[in-house]
């Protein structure tokens, strides 16, 4: 028996396939989100790895911003519920979740059973999201995957204070023209993303353990900046970009085993 979770985000499409023992037998991340070929490419990759087709999946649950665009899903479930389920499965001590994706950031509070008791979300503005980091990486001409390494060499955290991505971009350009080292600018960019995520996280009451999911959790510079601001350790979920798809697959598993 196989079940599938599909997370169609704004920045990327993710798939997780579980077997009858809830083991992950295949997964994929395709760095194209909703509104294009991202979901089908991610599905083809994950199914192709284990030589199966969609017809072999007993249940399919879709989540994420683009979840209604995938017609073959048996059910659509919100990203909040799916991230909570995926992360609690991987880290049962998680009580606060910080998920930073391509276009929004969320803080979720879990009870001892892994149920969502509260959540806060910023989906009004690019600042504090992966998109903000993508814009800055372009201006700095540094690949998004290299940002954490630059951050680790920073000698100072420069101030990137604008609350608007467009103005923050001008601030970064002005730092560059004043020959401020890119390392220090990147540390400032990460601190800016962290402060917005922490603003959401504080509102949940900030119970330990604090666990990060979403694509931005792969940026160790942002994770360090969040931990520094909260003055608490922050755990990064294993393979954090697929935690939403994992949650969706776990919901699909529950559907498949309903009596
Ligand atoms: N290898 C990497 N290293 C560092 N950062 C990364 C890496 N891969 C992705 N990211 C960051 O993750 C972001 C995308 O995150 P994710 O895939 O969780 O978004 P999404 O689920 O599509 O978006 P949303 O949930 O907001 O709709 C990118 O904008 C980028 O900043
Ligand atoms: Mg997402």
Q: Tens digits of per-residue pLDDT, 164-192?
A: 888 889 999 999 999 999 999 999 999 99
Find out whether 173 and 139 touch, Cβ atoms under 8 Å: yes
- pTM of the shown model: 0.96
Looking at residue 67, what is its pLDDT? Answer: 94
For residue 101, give the ligand nearest its CA: 1
Distance in angstroms (rounded) separating the CA atoms of residues 238 and 56 = 27
For the chain, domains (ranges, CATH) are: 1-91+241-259 (3.30.420.40), 92-236 (3.30.420.40)
- Cα 196 from Cα 201, distance rounded (Å): 9
Distance 236 CA to ligand 1 centre (A): 14
Mean per-residue pLDDT, 235-255: 98
Residue 219: CB atoms within 10 A of its CB come to 24
Q: Report strand pairing: 2-8 vs 57-63.
A: parallel
DSSP state of 256: H
**Does residue 221 have its Cβ closer than 6 Å to ligand 1?**
no
Nearest to 7 by CA among 258, 250, 254: 250
Flag whether pLDDT at 33 surpasses 80: no
pLDDT value, residue 23: 97
Binding site membership of 144 for ligand 1 (Cβ less than 6 Å): yes
Nearest atom in ligand 1 to 99's CA: 18
Q: Is the Cβ atom of 214 under 6 angstroms away from ligand 1?
A: yes
Task: Tell which atom from ligand 1 comes closest to the C-alpha of 34.
Answer: 22
| 57-63: strand order across its sheet | 24-30, 13-19, 2-8, 57-63, 75-76
Query: Quick one: which H or E segment has residue 222?
Result: helix 220-230
pLDDT band at 88 (very low <50, low <70, confident <90, very high): very high
Per-residue pLDDT, 69: 87
Q: Is 99 in the pocket of ligand 1 (CB under 6 A)?
A: no
pLDDT of residue 207: 97
Which ranges of the chain would DSSP assign to H, the alpha helix? 38-49, 79-90, 130-140, 147-152, 165-177, 182-203, 220-230, 243-256
Instruction: For residues 215-234, give the mean pLDDT.
Output: 98
Cα 11 to middle of ligand 1, angstroms:
6
Ligand 1 close to Cβ of residue 188 (< 6 A) = no
User: What pLDDT does 197 receive?
Assistant: 95
Task: Tell me which residue has tokens 């979901």.
Answer: 39
pLDDT-based confidence at 203, cuts 50/70/90? very high
249: phi > 0 → left, psi -120 to 50 → alpha, else beta; which?
Answer: alpha
Say if ligand 1 is within 6 A of residue 103 CB. yes
* Ligand 1 neighbour 229 (Cβ under 6 A): no
Euclidean distance between CA atoms 141 and 136, whole angstroms: 8
pLDDT interval class at 108 (50, 70, 90)? very high
241 lines ligand 1 (CB under 6 A): yes
9 lines ligand 1 (CB under 6 A): yes
Nearest CA residue ID for atom 1, ligand 1? 145
Q: Across residues 151-164, what is the average pLDDT?
A: 92
Give the number of whichever ligand sits closest to the CA of residue 66.
Answer: 1
- Residue-averaged pLDDT of the chain: 95
CA of 180 to the centre of ligand 1 (A): 27
- 150: CA distance to ligand 1 center in Å? 18
* Ligand closest to CA 241: 1
Q: Determine the 3-state secondary structure of 238 from DSSP.
A: coil
Give the closest ligand to the alpha carbon of residue 100: 1
pLDDT of residue 52: 98
């Amino acid at each position: 028996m196989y079940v599938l979770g599909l997370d169609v985000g704004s920045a990327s499409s993710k798939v997780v396939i579980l077997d009858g023992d809830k083991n992950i037998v295949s997964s994929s991340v395709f760095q194209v989100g909703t509104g294009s070929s991202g979901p089908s490419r991610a599905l083809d990759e994950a199914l192709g790895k284990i030589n199966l087709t969609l017809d072999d999946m007993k249940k399919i649950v879709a989540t994420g911003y683009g979840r209604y665009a995938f017609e073959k899903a048996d059910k659509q479930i919100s990203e909040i519920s799916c991230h909570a389920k995926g992360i609690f499965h991987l880290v049962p001590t998680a009580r606060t979740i910080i998920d930073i994706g391509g276009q929004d950031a969320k803080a979720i509070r879990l009870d001892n059973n892994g149920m969502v008791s509260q959540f806060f979300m910023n989906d009004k503005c690019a600042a504090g999201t992966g998109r903000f980091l993508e814009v800055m990486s372009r201006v700095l001409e540094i690949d998004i995957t290299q940002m954490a390494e630059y951050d680790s060499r920073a000698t100072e955290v420069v101030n990137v204070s604008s609350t608007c991505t467009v103005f923050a971009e001008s601030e970064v350009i002005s730092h560059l023209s004043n020959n401020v080292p890119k390392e220090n600018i990147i540390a400032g960019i990460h601190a800016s993303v962290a402060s917005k995520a922490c603003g959401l996280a504080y509102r949940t009451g900030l119970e330990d353990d604090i666990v990060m999911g979403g694509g931005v959790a792969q940026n160790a510079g942002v994770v360090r900046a969040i931990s520094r601001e909260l003055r608490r350790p922050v755990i990064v979920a294993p393979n954090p970009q697929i935690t939403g798809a994992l949650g969706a697959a776990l919901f699909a598993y529950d559907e498949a085993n309903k009596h």
